[in-house]
Amino acid sequence: MKIILLGPPGAGKGTQAKSISSRYSIPHISTGDIFRKNISEKTSLGIEAKNYIDNGQLVPDDLTINMIKSRLEQEDCRNGFLLDGFPRTVIQAEALDRYLKLKNESLDTALLIDVPRDFILDRMTGRRVCPSCGASYHIKYNPPMILGKCNICGSDIVQRKDDTEATVRERLDIYDSQTQPLIDYYRSKNLLSIVQGTKAINEVFESICNILGRDYNDNN
């Protein structure tokens, strides 16, 4: 199963990706998480990416494409993957197509989580994330069981530096100009599926399972 998740920042991609990854036994690959890990470890990639991310800009395509290619080479991607946050430009989508074609592989689905803009600001400014395992929470809609602590690994959860109102607005503008064209890109390849992301988290997941199929188990 090779899936990409599309949708504006705050649509719920990371939240749903955790459940999809565990239900369908495919690795969740978030380019944002990989960049953040590199930033915290002060690698050369992290140092190069940091300013773009802090300002809500996209990291340049060549850096991002090289990073994702090396991630897709890892053993756990042999039976599929779930990409969250990649591709974000048509150039990245074309590079992914070329990469898969060389391996005689192809995507199964581009799943768009559709959420109108007026939901986004509230979701993003109330988001809290776990810096250790990447889990995403919301102060109102999805609070952790213990205040300030990740349910999964117990680390302190934090607000992302790029989740301020000004940076979110910048990211939404970039989404409109650079990433939204991917909806038509995948629609023209007959790969696009759409779920409404405005429902509760578990209901969105139900809709996703209806699209991806329910006959999967851990042995597939």
Residues that bind ligand ADP (CB under 6 A): 7, 9-15, 123, 126-127, 136-138, 141-142, 197, 200-201, 204
The whole-angstrom separation of Cα 208 and Cα 204 is 6
Binding partner of 64, given ligand ADP, ligand AMP, none, CB within 5-8 angstroms per partner class = ligand AMP
**Does 71 participate in catalysis according to the annotation?**
no
With CA atoms as reference, report the closest residue to 44 among 26, 66, 23, 24.
66
| Residue 123 near ligand AMP by CB under 6 A | no
Q: Which of 18, 88, 123, 128 is catalytic?
A: 88
Binding partner of 86, given ligand AMP, ligand ADP, none, CB within 5-8 angstroms per partner class = ligand AMP
3-state SS of 176-189 is HHHHCHHHHHHHHC
**Does 140 participate in catalysis according to the annotation?**
no
**What angle, rounded to 10 degrees, do the helices at 31-40 and 44-54 form?**
120
3-state DSSP assignment of residue 88: coil
The length of the chain is: 220
Q: Which of 13, 18, 36, 128 is catalytic?
A: 13
Instruction: Output the residue with the shortest Cβ distance to ligand AMP.
Output: 32
Question: Could you tell me which residues are beta bridge partners of residue 156?
Answer: 149
Cα dihedral: 199, 205, 207, 213 (round 10): 180
| Structure-token pair, residue 7 | 């949708």
| Residue 171 near ligand AMP by CB under 6 A | yes
| Residue 88 near ligand AMP by CB under 6 A | yes
- What residues line the site for ligand AMP (CB under 6 A)? 9, 31-32, 35, 52-53, 56-59, 64, 85-88, 92, 162, 171
Show which residues are catalytic: 13, 88, 127, 160, 171
